[in-house]
Amino acid sequence: MKNFMVTHTLKSDEAMDAYFQALETMSEADIRGAMKNEKASFQMQWNAGKTDKVMFCWWKAESAEAIVETLGDMAQLFDNDIREMPNVYDFKD
């Protein structure tokens, strides 16, 4: 699978409330199960909670379309800027 970085921007305050309310009802295992299949796999997310409508996510996927399909109805809450990142340099400690 290819690496993608996705900038998800919540479309409104109502979308933000719906997103965070949904997360409150799900365990990490629930989220992982919903965001992983044979075509796309959610890896990591960076967000600032309800102080910012923008979040950044790392995905492994066959295509950008596979990410949107995996998000399902949740994709409609966001403007999704999906970019394939073929060059990955890992310098973590």
β 78-84/2-10 pair status: antiparallel
pTM recorded for the entire structure: 0.86
Question: How far is residue 11's CA from residue 53's CA, in Å, rounded to a whole number?
Answer: 8
Residues 6+ apart with CB under 8 A from 30: none
Question: How far is residue 27's CA from residue 71's CA, in Å, rounded to a whole number?
Answer: 17
Burial 31-53 (b: 16+ CB within 10 A, else e): eeeebeeeebbbeeeebeeeeeb
Alpha helices in 1-93 (DSSP H): 13-24, 28-34, 64-71
Domains of the chain, each with CATH number or no CATH? 2-84 (3.30.70.1060)
> Is the Cβ–Cβ distance between 85 and 40 less than 8 Å?
no
Q: What is the chain's pLDDT, residue by residue, as a tens digit (93 residues)?
A: 999 999 999 999 999 999 998 888 888 888 888 889 999 999 999 999 889 999 999 999 999 999 999 999 889 999 999 999 999 898 988
